[in-house]
């Protein structure tokens, strides 16, 4: 289960046996949110957020959405590197707000 990003205490991970659609698991304290990316003709057509366990606070959810908006294509690239090309993924830590 590689952690691909850490952003303001939110850990963003893939699970090693994940499936499509491309998605990540965002963990903050005891809460988990699944973020799914739907791609049509090479463009992200929709991003969904689903609570898996507990809930992010309103401010943490805003932090997550701001992060996803800026890093969505890097997340997809990391997904492809990990699942299609079997590359190891290094965690990237971001300690300042993106917006």
* 99 assigned to some structural domain: no
> Which of these, 95, 49, 84, lies nearest to 69 by C-alpha position?
49
**What range does the domain containing 38 cover?**
3-92
For residue 32 the two structure tokens come to 């988990």
Which residues lie below 8 Å from residue 28, measured CB to CB, with a gap of 6+? 9, 10, 11, 56, 60, 64
- Domains in the chain, number: 1
- Structural domain includes residue 58: yes
Residue 19 has pLDDT above 80, yes or no: no
For residues 39 and 22, the answer to whether their CB atoms sit within 8 Å is: yes
Helix (H) / strand (E) containing 96: none
Kindly report, residue by residue over 47-73, the tens digit of the pLDDT.
Answer: 999 999 999 999 999 999 999 999 999
The model scores a pTM over 0.85? yes
| pLDDT single digits (tens) 80-99 | 898 889 899 999 999 999 98
25 in any annotated domain = yes
- Mean pLDDT across the chain: 93
The percentage of residues in the chain with a pLDDT greater than 70, rounded to a whole number, is 98
């Amino acid at each position: 289960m590689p952690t691909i990003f850490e952003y303001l205490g939110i850990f963003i991970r893939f699970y090693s046996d994940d499936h499509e659609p491309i998605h990540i698991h965002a963990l903050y304290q005891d809460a988990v949110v699944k973020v799914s990316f739907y791609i049509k003709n090479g463009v992200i057509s929709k991003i969904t957020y689903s609570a898996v366990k507990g809930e992010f606070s309103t401010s943490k959810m805003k932090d997550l959405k701001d992060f996803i908006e800026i890093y969505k294509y890097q997340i997809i690239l990391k997904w492809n590197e990990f699942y299609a090309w079997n590359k190891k993924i290094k965690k990237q830590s971001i300690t300042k707000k993106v917006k």
